[in-house]
Structure 1
Amino acid sequence: MKEKIEPPSNWIRKRLLSNKWDSSVRIQLLLYAIFGVAFYLLLMNHVFPEQYNIQIGKQSPATIVSPITKVDEYATEEAKTQAAKAVERQYTKDDTLTNEQINHIDHFFAEVRKIITNPSDTNEEKITKIKGTLEKKPSNDFSPEFYQNLVSRSPDQLTEIRLKTREIVYDILQEGVRKEELEEKRKSVDRDLVTSLLDSDALDGPSRSVVRELAKQSIIPNEVYDEKKTEQLRDAARDAVKAIPINKGQIIVSKDEVVTKDQYRKLEQLGLLRKKTNIFPYLGLAILILLLLAMLFYYVRRFHFNLFKNNVNLILLFSVLLLTLLGMKFIALGQNLEWNTIGYLAPVGLGTMLITLLLNIELALGCVILLAISASVFYNGDSHNLFNFHYGMVALVSGAASAFALAGVRKRSSILKAGAISSAASIIPIVSLYFLAPAEGTWKDLLQSVSFGILSGIFSAVLTIGFLPYFETLFGILSPLRLLELSNPNHPLLRKLLIETPGTYHHSVIVANLAEAAAEAIGADGLLARVGAYYHDLGKTKRPQFFIENQLYRENPHDKISPNLSKTIIISHPRDGVELLRQYRIPEPIQDIAAQHHGTTLLKYFYYKALSQQKDGAQVLEEDYRYPGPKAQFKEAAIVGIADCVEAAVRSLSRPTPSRIENMVRKIIRDRLEDGQFNECDLTFKELDLIAKSMCETLKGIFHSRIEYPEEPAIKGVKH
């Protein structure tokens, strides 16, 4: 049984995940859960207000500022109560009582006139009759002088007394008399009588005495308490009171200030006391994290399905995001009154640049939104809001700019250039937001903000350069920058290939040109195909003399050994190459190309040679003369395999005309297709046709015809 070359695995998959777990949904959900918990813990202190251990009557350990605007319910209710109390009791005046009292006065004087004008009665009898008349009334507490003065008045005087009494009583009752004001209103009779002394027709003393007593007794309460109207006015007064707020940024208590009962109450209402735990902020943050994770999950599933089915790359994504969030958290620790704009230093570009280089730019642009939201939460301390959109906006612009700047880069120095572009891009939103709200800062704040924004891009670029090799090694990621480094001719393995097997090196260079052009023709990774082609035959350095391109006028050793031994030597070079690549820690895709470029193809030369040398009874099996595989698992490996076979075949043509080259290329592709070498990769017939056309164009450039230069004619008399 022949040994089969297994595709190599990267460090993470080898140690953390088995092949069946690489796309496991359970592992995927677990990764999202772990990232969600870490994300929650990082944001927690920036969402929940800091709580204090404070007691009434003791000094405050710090200056405590309200993190939010909230209605002071207790103070508002107190203000409403005071406003309601300020509304006086409302009364309704009963004018019928006023009229009744005036009628009673008129009726009384009509009766008195009858009694007084009766000449047959003595004064005593008249007084007795008058008392009898007054006993029918509710007010009959008169002095003896009242009666004596009354019966001694003439009819004309009685008329004047009646009119004056009516006037005084009417005026007072018309103003309204409440029960609690009765005595005060009756005392006002005396003031009216004193005022009347100035009149030319003023009453004499006895008449005024009669008016005084009768008017006082005639004044009764004529205003009744209106409870309904009073409550309506009090309710209106309560409603008119505006809510008293505890404003965001308002200092509740200063450091070392003795805490009062009112301050303690406000701190308790704001949830700033350690004795009480409010679960709603914890629940709100959890819901926010779940929402962001759900959006990320759907975005990855909808637009990056390859990543969605690859848990190793998902670990890479979450690792980069957590690294960036940790950097942002570290910057947030330095935010204070002196460095209140340090949030613009947040290394958002670190995450977007790493994701762009290690995965793809589309994913980086999606993740920059998540990082921008995080930045607005991390640096919300100065504004006392849950989100500070200033930092989120700058993070979004600078992060997106750094991702765009790194799209398709081919040099590691481009990272610094991308950092500079990110720095320049961050200046625009910083200045714009300052001009939109200049009252929120000074020119010094603007200068400080711009300085932090410039440093942010450079800082992110330096961090990216530092962390990129570790991620490439840890996850076996082959970024364009890493590929360019591997394609350097001075790489130890390429130097080894050049020195020990110059023929194979030249062959690999031509295969690289063919593979890169073909890969780019179908939209595959041309740089990966080129670098993979450089290393695909590295295993030939172990026994270089057994491969014809390295023999260089030497005797072919295969002529002296059996076909079976020759086959064993030849098919071992993919395995030898993989082992050598592993020793030098060359990334997994390059190892895969070296292992898969021959697939399970048949060594026809040695197979037919073995058949021709077959002795009676001996059996030659075709499967013994096939490479152990595996077959190509991805497009670039299949393309390198085609290019490898095409280069060798076309080199053997005696006259490589364009038509013969095209026939040879299409025959090789057709033979591999019929042999099932493309069954495990996703190449289509259309792509195979594009590969054939691309290779033919490249080969035409390599094997173009040249004109034959004529020999220089000899000139007589001239020596050469």
Structure 2
Amino acid sequence: MSHSLFAGPWRGGSLKWLAFYRPVLDAPVWFLLAVLSLTAVLGVRFYSEPRLSVGTRVDRAIVAPRTVEVTDRSETEKARREASRAAVKVYDYDPLVDAQVRDRLDDLLTEGDQIVATAGKLPYLNPGILTSEAQQYLRAMPQAGWRRLKQLAFSPGTPLAETLPTLDRQILASLSNRREGGELDNLIVAIERSRLAYGQALSRLRTAPIVFQDRLLGLTPAQWQDVADQARLVTRRLLAIGIVPKLDPELREKGITAQLPANFDILQRRIATDLVLSVLTPNLRVDPLQTLREAEQSVQNVEDIRIKIQKGQVLLDKGDTVTPRWFAILDQLDLTQRGINWPELGLLAVIQIVAFSTFLGIDKRLGRACLCKRDYLLTLVVALGTAIIGVIIGNSWGWGGFLPFIAAGLLLGNFYGSLRGSVALLALAVPFWYGLALPPAIFWPVLAGGLVAAVQVGRLRSREEMAFLGVLAAAVQGGVYALLNLVFPAGYDWRELLIHTGEMFGGGLVCSIVALGASPYLERLFDVVTPVRLSELANPNQPLLKRLATEAPGTFQHTLFVANLAEAAARCLGDNADLVRTGTLYHDIGKMVRPRYFIENQMGLPNPHLQLDDPWRSAAVIRDHVTDGLKLARRHGLPQVIQSFIPEHQGTIRIAYFHHQACEEVGAENIRDEDFTYPGPTPQSRETGLVMLADACEAALRSLKDVTEPEAVAMVQRILAARWREGQLKDSDLKEEELPLIAKTFVKVWKEQNHQRIRYPAACTGQTEFQPARR
């Protein structure tokens, strides 16, 4: 389809929108190749798709075609899941926990000993006078009751005594029998002393651990000692057996109680049990690796569950629903009617046609430098590589985090800029999602990571920055995955979610490493110049640039000034300034072959052209620096786009000085123009056109002295206008109205590099008169 076909009716008419897809018709072979190859890869799941699927109803009875034993995969998987769940957990012993438990128990028992010692011994009187029960009752009796009992003990026969409780009457009777001989006074003193000690013990008990409060003083010192000894013994036994985490508290309490002596009363059992429970901590922790191995071994030990099917046996009656279990059985008997799903394949192809056509249409409108056939091929290679890896990972491993969208984003964004890379990635994402049937929880995170990589990589200028961007994109991929699973829960517990999030991050990191490793090879193979590669080529330590600085220093200085002029103009016009600078650095490398034949390298030495004394030979030497430069560029593997600066910066300009000499010798009518013009071609891009203009103005700008800025601009404009009139810029896409802006930019750079310098006194310079200070 020719361009003229679109010149009329496609614009401004009812079919104007069709012009958006014109690039498809401009490259039909590449477009068809892309659609067919990617459909072939992404449509793998449609090649052998069963007509019968889970959930469908059969329209006729399905009968076994032969007698065979088949694996009941559903039951086998169920048995293996049960075996995995029932697998014994493997625990690891932590001796540090034992020491901590024993220390905490010793601290508790020490505090209990101190409280019991403060309360004093029991019995504190002769049991023949008062029973131990009565003595314990007396020391804990409220103060009012004790005062009343003392009063009655010294005043027998009071009718009030008949109203006292039984134990109080018994205590009163025992005390009343000791009134003679001062014995009652001694008893009262002993009881008072014991009550005081008990009160002090109660005060300490209020700030003691809760395990002691309101119960400890109900034990005698001997009973407490038995409790302390048994608590230590039981704790040692349980730690030796091992305490597993998350053990039911009721089971743990029963285990402690079962080891206590039978002669313990209820209070002793309760205090001893609570003491052990308060300090007991699991000293066994699950060993994840060994437990996993144990579970895997248990699963491997489960044999396939097989069922025997007889020939002619009815498997499913008409109208029955195909369950997952029956689908697996039917599939083993080749009864699922597998075949190519042509409608789905066709739909996938249509999706790709729309997506790729949209990409090509957008690419046509993104800027001046559209993709060429080589770029289409490279984009297809990246897309196919992404698709093949996605199919392998999706169908074989199921590791969603390793889908290489980040790698594709880094490569496409680095090769063709952030905008084109992002659009290309989106165009690939839609058929990728449909062909692989990716779940949203996988698709959106990997797409987000890929877009972050594609958008940001166009701004980078080093491999190191790309590596850090890979980490960022991987973090975005993992973060989006975690966020989606938090907003739309997928039934994971926290541990599984962390594992899957880590997998998404790690997969993205691996993809970025793959992209970093593949990028230099793809750049070389497809001759692509990226911002990173341009930055590397512009490094002064590149072999060709080091040689140029050493072997042709004047040319090198000329090159730097031209690069500054052309780069500034490119930035001002919105062109590729990195490409302009790098191309300019190599545009005159051919002068290294015979540097002395160029005036900037002669530095006061004799001019070799005077020895030649032949304008034809001199012009040939000057003209040959273009062909010599191309030979050097090819030998050192410079990209084609950089090589184009070498011939195009001279175009078909006449070598005026030697042409004039020849005219004086033999007359203008006897001279062939091709002997005194560069071979060309003229600049084919805006970037090479800017370098031609900068190269033409460089010598003139250097020669300017004591001129005003308007005068400098006028002079530069005359040079640019001359190049325009000569037709040197007709194929460069530069516009005549841009020339004044270019001239002003050149003069601005010249002024910045030729600013006035401070004049220092002779005393500062060691000279006899004022001279400009040199830096």
Alignment TM class, shorter chain as reference? 0.5 to 0.7
* Distance change (3 Å), C-alpha of 1:59 and 1:591: same
Counterpart of 1:256 in structure 2 is 306
Maintained 8 Å contact 2:401/2:508: no
Counterpart of 2:203 in structure 1 is none
Counterpart of 1:37 in structure 2 is 36
SS of 2:682's partner is coil
Counterpart of 2:524 in structure 1 is 473
Shift of 1:435: 1.7
Mapped partners of 1:714, 1:344: distance in 2: 68
Maintained 8 Å contact 1:421/1:457: no
* Distance change (3 Å), C-alpha of 1:404 and 1:314: same
Mapped partners of 1:642, 1:463: distance in 2: 42
- 1:675 counterpart = 2:737: no
Counterpart of 2:689 in structure 1 is 638
1:597 to 644, 649, 653: 649
Q: Structure 1: which amino acid aligns with 2:659?
A: Y
- 1:612 counterpart = 2:664: yes
Shift of 1:426: 1.1
Q: Structure 2: which amino acid aligns with 1:60?
A: V
Q: Could you report, residue by residue, the CA deviation over 1:512-564 in whole angstroms, capped at 9, with x for unpaired residues?
A: 11111111111110011001110000000111000001001101111232111
Maintained 8 Å contact 2:386/2:405: yes
Structure 1, 393-402 or 424-433: larger mean CA deviation: 424-433
Counterpart of 1:312 in structure 2 is 374
- 1:694 counterpart = 2:745: yes
* Distance change (3 Å), C-alpha of 1:375 and 1:433: farther
1:431 to 476, 482, 491: 482
Mapped partners of 1:255, 1:267: distance in 2: 20
Counterpart of 2:391 in structure 1 is 329
Mapped partners of 1:267, 1:58: distance in 2: 20
Mapped partners of 2:577, 2:519: distance in 1: 22
Mapped partners of 1:299, 1:50: distance in 2: 31
Shift of 1:36: 2.4
- 1:349 counterpart = 2:401: no
Q: Could you report, residue by residue, the CA deviation over 1:292-345 in whole angstroms, capped at 9, with x for unpaired residues?
A: 22222133123435787722211111111111112222322443xxxx5x2122
Counterpart of 2:70 in structure 1 is 60
Aligned pair count? Answer: 493
Q: Structure 1: which amino acid aligns with 2:517?
A: G
Q: Could you report, residue by residue, the CA deviation over 1:3-56 in whole angstroms, capped at 9, with x for unpaired residues?
A: xxxxxxxxxxxxxxxxxxxx9977832323322233223233434666699856
Maintained 8 Å contact 2:445/2:481: yes
Mapped partners of 2:571, 2:348: distance in 1: 43
Counterpart of 2:347 in structure 1 is 287
Mapped partners of 1:481, 1:689: distance in 2: 32
Maintained 8 Å contact 2:548/2:592: yes
Shift of 1:392: 1.2
Shift of 1:621: 4.0
Maintained 8 Å contact 1:602/1:626: yes
- 1:536 counterpart = 2:590: no
- 1:297 counterpart = 2:371: no
TM-score (ref. length: structure 2): 0.59
Q: Structure 1: which amino acid aligns with 2:359?
A: Y
Mapped partners of 2:638, 2:765: distance in 1: 58
Shift of 1:267: 5.6
Larger CA Rg, structure 1 vs 2 = 1
Shift of 1:606: 1.4
SS of 1:59's partner is strand
Mapped partners of 1:644, 1:54: distance in 2: 85
Shift of 1:667: 1.4
Mapped partners of 2:715, 2:765: distance in 1: 44
Mapped partners of 1:494, 1:659: distance in 2: 35
Structure 1, 420-429 or 582-591: larger mean CA deviation: 420-429
Q: Structure 2: which amino acid aligns with 1:301?
A: G
* Distance change (3 Å), C-alpha of 1:578 and 1:308: closer
Matches of residues 358-507 of structure 1 in structure 2 within 5 Å? 358-373=415-430, 376=433, 386-507=437-558
Maintained 8 Å contact 1:376/1:392: yes
* Distance change (3 Å), C-alpha of 1:712 and 1:482: same
Q: Could you report, residue by residue, the CA deviation over 1:152-194 in whole angstroms, capped at 9, with x for unpaired residues?
A: xxxxxxxxxxxxxxxxxxxxxxxxxxxxxxxxxxxxxxxxxxx
Mapped partners of 2:556, 2:675: distance in 1: 28
Maintained 8 Å contact 1:59/1:255: no
Gaps of at least 5 residues in structure 2 are 1-21, 53-62, 76-303, 767-775
* Distance change (3 Å), C-alpha of 1:280 and 1:586: closer
* Distance change (3 Å), C-alpha of 1:456 and 1:693: farther
Counterpart of 1:527 in structure 2 is 578
Q: Structure 1: which amino acid aligns with 2:70?
A: S
Mapped partners of 2:495, 2:307: distance in 1: 32
Maintained 8 Å contact 1:353/1:464: yes
Structure 1, 464-473 or 436-445: larger mean CA deviation: 436-445
Structure 1, 38-47 or 261-270: larger mean CA deviation: 261-270
Maintained 8 Å contact 1:511/1:643: yes
* Distance change (3 Å), C-alpha of 1:326 and 1:673: same
Maintained 8 Å contact 2:351/2:430: no
Counterpart of 2:762 in structure 1 is 711
SS of 1:440's partner is coil
* Distance change (3 Å), C-alpha of 1:394 and 1:55: farther
Q: Superposition RMSD on alpha carbons, in Å?
A: 3.1
* Distance change (3 Å), C-alpha of 1:551 and 1:657: farther
* Distance change (3 Å), C-alpha of 1:713 and 1:581: closer
Shift of 1:602: 1.4
Instruction: Quote the sequence identity (%).
Output: 28
Q: Structure 1: which amino acid aligns with 2:32?
A: A
Q: Structure 2: which amino acid aligns with 1:290?
A: V
Q: Structure 1: which amino acid aligns with 2:583?
A: G
Shift of 1:655: 4.2
* Distance change (3 Å), C-alpha of 1:531 and 1:714: closer
Q: Structure 1: which amino acid aligns with 2:495?
A: K
Shift of 1:705: 2.4
Q: Structure 2: which amino acid aligns with 1:30?
A: V
Q: Structure 1: which amino acid aligns with 2:34?
A: F
Counterpart of 1:575 in structure 2 is 627
Mapped partners of 1:661, 1:606: distance in 2: 27
Mapped partners of 1:24, 1:281: distance in 2: 31
* Distance change (3 Å), C-alpha of 1:609 and 1:601: same
Shift of 1:648: 1.7
* Distance change (3 Å), C-alpha of 1:706 and 1:287: same
SS of 2:43's partner is helix
Shift of 1:673: 0.4
Q: Structure 1: which amino acid aligns with 2:307?
A: E
* Distance change (3 Å), C-alpha of 1:394 and 1:263: farther
Maintained 8 Å contact 2:348/2:435: no
TM-score (ref. length: structure 1): 0.63
Maintained 8 Å contact 1:398/1:422: yes
Shift of 1:415: 1.3
Maintained 8 Å contact 1:374/1:392: no
Mapped partners of 2:381, 2:707: distance in 1: 53
Mapped partners of 1:396, 1:685: distance in 2: 44
SS of 2:508's partner is helix
Structure 1, 275-284 or 391-400: larger mean CA deviation: 275-284
Q: Structure 2: which amino acid aligns with 1:643?
A: A
